[in-house]
Amino acid sequence: MFKRSFISKDRAGKTVRVAKKKYDDLIKLKMKQKAESPSIASPLTSPIISMIVGRDQSVFAAHEDILSVSPYFSAAIKEQFQENGEKQLMLPEEEPEVLSCVLEFLYKGEYFPRLLHGKHRNSWSLEDAQDTTQSGRRGSSEATIFHSEVGDLVLRDTVIYCAAEKYGLEDLKRLALRKQGLQSGIPADVILRSARYAYDHTPETDSRLRAHYLAVIIRSRKIFKQSGTLEMEMEEGGKLFFDLFVAMCNHIDDISERYVSFLSSRFSLLSLPPLNVSNALDPVIQHSADSDLY
């Protein structure tokens, strides 16, 4: 990051005496620059905002300037101060564990478990992750939390993503989605429950977390076909399953187009008559429904 000069710094040489006037001028210049530049620690000198969180009314505290990075918190603090002069936020619907992660991100740009970059394989993993699948690679780490609103386990990073959506923290959304992509060995019922939570707490314009769940279900369709949970969820309905139907159709169309393109190229090389597309698609559609193509 910082380059060193090995020409003059690291060898003995003639001592040069700096004139006192020049030295004083240099000190004054540095002091002026320091006074004019914003202090990195300045947010930590701003007023403390207390937060009452969740059904158990857990108490959190954070600096106002740190919280104001979030448009949601910034507006809420101003509104609360105008109403009663107090700087206190009430978040009765938030999970304390989730808010703790949000605050950790606002202060540090990360939240536990941290992302670790393996330079040897140029891959990413989660801090303190364990090999839950006996595959020789790291698996889940702190994958789920009990959510009081849901009344059951859901994927932790999904809830954090939805909280970041609410608080207007795009970088936290990207981080949560990347971490969720590293999870493995998650039961089908937890995936479906988390997918429904994601649909309930993101706008219809969301194209990342929702698409992530559709891709997961399609890739693991063999497991979900045998899942009684999926059957019950589908009977309950919701936009998730229409989107899943559309995604599955697009998936089959992509496979069909690749298959037809492959056969057409072979027929062309062999100088055979044109391919009957409708008949050619029957076996590949059946194959795509019965096997995992990923």
Residue pLDDT, tens place only, 32-41: 554 454 444 4
CB 213 within 8 A of CB 230: no
Confidence band for 226, pLDDT divided at 50, 70 and 90: confident
DSSP for residue 91: E
Encode 124-160: b = buried (16+ Cβ within 10 Å), e = exposed: ebbeebeebeeeeebbbbbbbbebeeeeebbbbbbbb
Q: Which of residues 166 and 136 earns the better pLDDT score?
A: 166
Q: Compute φ and ψ for 52, nearest 5 degrees.
A: -100, 115
Q: Which of residues 155 and 138 earns the better pLDDT score?
A: 155
For the chain, the farthest-separated pair of C-alpha atoms sits apart, in whole angstroms, at 94
**Predicted pLDDT at 93:** 93
Beta carbons within 10 angstroms of residue 77's beta carbon: 19
Q: Highest mean pLDDT: which of 20-24, 101-105, 189-193, 284-288?
A: 101-105
**Parallel, antiparallel or unpaired: strands 144-147 and 123-126:** unpaired
Confidence band for 272, pLDDT divided at 50, 70 and 90: low
**CA nearest neighbour of 142 among 104, 183, 188:** 183
Interatomic CA distance for residues 64 and 69, integer angstroms: 9
3-state secondary structure of 47: coil
- Whether pLDDT at 78 is above 70: yes
3-state secondary structure of 51: strand
What is the token pair recorded at 284? 């590949």
What's the sign of the alpha-carbon dihedral 55, 56, 57, 58? negative
**Predicted pLDDT at 136:** 43
